[in-house]
Amino acid sequence: MVPMSDIALHFDARPSGIPLVLLPAFPLDGRMFRGVRRLLDGWVITVDPPGFGDSAPPRAVAAHLGDRATPSLETYARALARALDDAGADRIVLAGVSIGGYTTMAFAELFPERLAGIGLLDTKAEADDLDMQEYRLRMADAVAADEPTGRYLAPLLDHVVSPYTKQEREALFEHLAESFEQAPAAGIAWAQRAMAARPDRLDVLRRLRVPALVLRGEDDAVSSHAQMSAMAEALGTTLVEIPRAGHMAAAEDPEPVARALADLWDRARAAAP
């Protein structure tokens, strides 16, 4: 782990070259990628979002950057850039799941020159509609008022995994349930408010000229085939779909996800000057 920054980065070694940086889904930390990480060689960095894992609380992250305390994914992206500077990582291949994908797109808008490649996994470029914004803000307000997080996160888990995972990957489902249960209230509230405030970033993707991966679990009930196909078209690539996986495909079936990420990483390194 790199301890000098507000955003915790986890990696085993610091070789030269372009690292692959992985941003997890809500409400998880970088441990979401344990299965994927075991299948990849080289400088792979997993990241804990503000308020999760070993990262600092969201208010501290914003304060140290001089940002407003209002939750935003831009704050996460800027703090990530600073942490990567501290780690000696300049150009990167950045890939994220769900909120990690939203943050990847925020990073692409703020620091396009730092991207050697981009991966968007089970996410979407469009902003939330009004109903989803209201749902997120209700959850944030309730959790901030010390209501039990399980009231919101337990039903969410059923929604974000494939039925196959719940029925046939029982150990994984129980592990995810425990992780959801342990998610910190401050991180939950901050993340939901930040997601509710994010803009549409499809035009950001259209401006990028880097190798890209857009990947979706076929049973994803959150990010639709149409939404993710639009991102793939904007990036000039084709949508990769993983059967028998949902919104958490990176955790549900790490092997094909790792293969797709390795291919992205290889293409990015080959295209780098």
Per-residue model confidence (pLDDT) at position 12: 85
- In the numeric block, which tokens belong to residue 40? 């990849």
Cis previous bond, 58, omega within 30: no
pLDDT bucket at 148, cuts 50 / 70 / 90? confident
DSSP string, 6-75: SS-EE-S---SSPPEEEEPPTT--GGGGHHHHHT--S-EEEEPPTTSTTSPPHHHHHHHHT--SS--HHH
Mean pLDDT over all residues of the chain?
94
Per-residue model confidence (pLDDT) at position 154: 85
Asked if 10 and 88 touch (Cβ cutoff 8 Å), the reply is no
State the residue for tokens 């990073």.
107
- pLDDT reading at 240 higher than 90: yes
- In the numeric block, which tokens belong to residue 198? 């994010």
Domains, the chain, ranges and CATH? 9-126+199-271 (3.40.50.1820)
pTM over 0.85: yes
Per-residue model confidence (pLDDT) at position 44: 96
